[in-house]
Every structure is written in C-alpha cells, then in structure tokens.
Amino acid sequence: MSSRPGSLRQIVFLLLVALPVASQFFIPSAALSQEPSQKQLLSFVSAPLPGKASSEEAPTYYKPDTLYQYIDGGADVYLLYDFRILLHQNFKSAAVEVTADIYDMGKPEDAFGIYAAERSARYKFLPIGIEGYISKGILNFVQDRYYIKLAAMSGNADTILGSFAHTISQRIGGKKTAPALLLKLPVANRVPHSEQYVRKDPLGHAFLAPAYVTTYKWGPKESKLLVCVAADASGAKLRLEQLANHFKQTGESKAVPELGEGGIRGKNSFEGTVIARTHGRYLVVVVNPPESGVGILKAAAQGLP
C-alpha cells in the first residue's frame, strides 16, 4: 500500500511533462480557420448576404494536396496554374440553394488563365469583375487573384447568382482589368472573349510557355497572336531558334528581316504558316497570318514594354 502514493505522484508528474509536448501536435479547429488566406476568403461570403442567405454548414477549405478530393480529375489544371486554396460553402436563400467556390490562385494572371481555360464563347458574358458569364444555373467570374464559381438551381437562380456575384466582387475590390500585357495588344479585329494565358504547351510546344494568346478575325479568316514571355532577351531568342528549327524539320523556315528582330516565316502541312520575331524578352508569333499579318506582328511588338 505504501507504494501507491509514490506511483500516483509519478503518474501525475509524467502527465504534466507530457501535456506541453502533446499540445504541439493539437491545433484547435477554430485556430485553423484563422489562417490569413482562409480568413480573407471567408470575408467575401460573410453575412449579410443577398436574399438574407445563410450558410447551411461551415466552410470547407482545400489546398493543393487535397483539391483532388473535391474535383478529382480536374485538379491537375488548377495546380498547373499554381492554385493556392479553395473555399467551398453552401448557402440557402428562401427556397434557393447556392454553392460558392472561391479559388485563390495567388496571382491575377493565373486566376485569369484558369478562368479562360474553362470559358466557352457560347456563354452569356456579364460585366462583372474582369470578366464573367452565366449559363444554366452557374455564374463564374474572375477578379484580382480569385476565380469565383457560383451555382444555383431554381426558377430565379440567375437573379440570386447575380446578387451573390456583385456582393463578392465588391468585397474583393481592387482593379477589374485583364492582365497588363493583354491590354497592350492590338484591339482592332480581336475576337471578343478570346484572350487566354497559357501555362503549358501553347500551340503544342513546351518551349513557347508561358504565353498570352488572342484570336483575331478578318472576314472568314482567323489568326492567333501569341506573346511568349521569357526571362530575358536571350531566352526569347532561344525560343525563336527552337521555333525556327521545328519548322525546318517539319516543313520550311526562312529569315524575314522586314518582320523585325530575328524575323522568320515558317510553314508545314499540319500547322500552316507562322510569322514570328522577338522584342526584348518576348517572342511574338502570328499563326495563320492574313495579308496584313506583318502589320499586326509589328504593332503587337511595339506595344510591349
């Protein structure tokens, strides 16, 4: 019996020593919600909300290593654009259920890139954020470094989605303009809503990435303008050499000095014709150029910083 008090004192001592160590491995859920990025996302959908909408549940957050749990099969393209964190939450306004997904992509160009990769020219576009569209119970838009996807199914879904979108847009604030480089490209004859930011294999070539891409149209003829961004001027010249070598191996390529810095014209049977030149750290390419292709190539180059 006399050994019991000593044993009890030992147990108490061990517990007191172990508790500070154990606490290092336990993080209350309330503390997790206070991460700066989570707190910022939550502020976009906090009360009050349109239609007196209320959240049906606590928000769920997904990060790069867990995004596949929510969009299995679709996560890879988001990771390609350096996805950071997603807030997913459901709301209810009267009989309407609304789902909000807000993706923090880290940089405005990456947010625009993933948005443009999922957009279709068939959608009805809206003047919200940088750009947005609505189609069959969904409303998606891009603003700053965020890609916002809203969904609702009911008779007045479009109305509640529009109200939600405008509320979120106002709370995000900041500039509502496309990536700066896209704003410097020629406007005449540009196909509306054709702008893209491509992080992987523009035109099927890894060496052209990343690139800003726009489509232009002259009558029935469509052309694509690519501006590939290298680290410096030597990097841009290397990309031009790789493009020229590709066409030499698959068709033909020749120097065209009147196009400007390192100007070339390439052609093969499956890609058609391209004209290209460099401008500082940029490689500018026009695919399927019209007769005025030289003009748009030079105009694009001259507009670059």
Q: What is the mean pLDDT of each run of 10 residues along the chain (305 residues)?
A: 47 40 35 72 96 91 97 94 98 90 97 96 94 94 98 87 97 94 95 96 97 94 97 98 98 96 97 97 97 91 94
Domain ranges for the chain, please list them.
Answer: 29-172, 180-303
Rounded Cα distance, 53 and 56, in Å: 9
- Token couple for 90: 């459901």
Q: Determine contact, residues 294/275, Cβ cutoff 8 Å.
A: yes
- Token couple for 246: 């590709």
Strands 146-152, 96-104: pairing kind? antiparallel
| Nearest partner of 96 among 132, 54, 124, judged by Cα | 54
CATH code given to domain 29-172: 3.40.1000
Q: Determine contact, residues 118/103, Cβ cutoff 8 Å.
A: no
Rounded Cα distance, 212 and 224, in Å: 10
SS (H, E, C) the chain: CCHHHHHHHHHHHHHHHHHHHHHCCCCCHHHHCCCHHHHHHHHHCCCCCHHHCEECCCCEEECCCCHHHCCCCCHHHHHHCCCCEEEEEEEEECCEEEEEEEEECCCHHHHHHHHHHHCCCCCEEECCCCEEEEECCEEEEEECCEEEEEEECCCCHHHHHHHHHHHHHHHHCCCCCCCHHHHCCCCCCECCCCCEEECCCHHHCHHHCCEEEEEEEECCEEEEEEEEECCCHHHHHHHHHHHHHHHHHHEEEEECHHHCCCCEEEEECCCEEEEEEEECCEEEEEECCCCCHHHHHHHHHHHCC
Identity of residue 8: L
What's the predicted TM-score (pTM) here? 0.86
Tell me the fold of 180-303: Protein Transport Mog1p; Chain A (3.40.1000)
Other residues' Cβ atoms within 10 Å of the Cβ of residue 183: 11
The answer for 145, left when phi > 0, alpha when psi is -120 to 50, beta otherwise, is alpha
Return phi, psi of residue 222, to 5°.
-110, 145
Q: Determine contact, residues 72/62, Cβ cutoff 8 Å.
A: no
Q: Determine contact, residues 103/91, Cβ cutoff 8 Å.
A: no
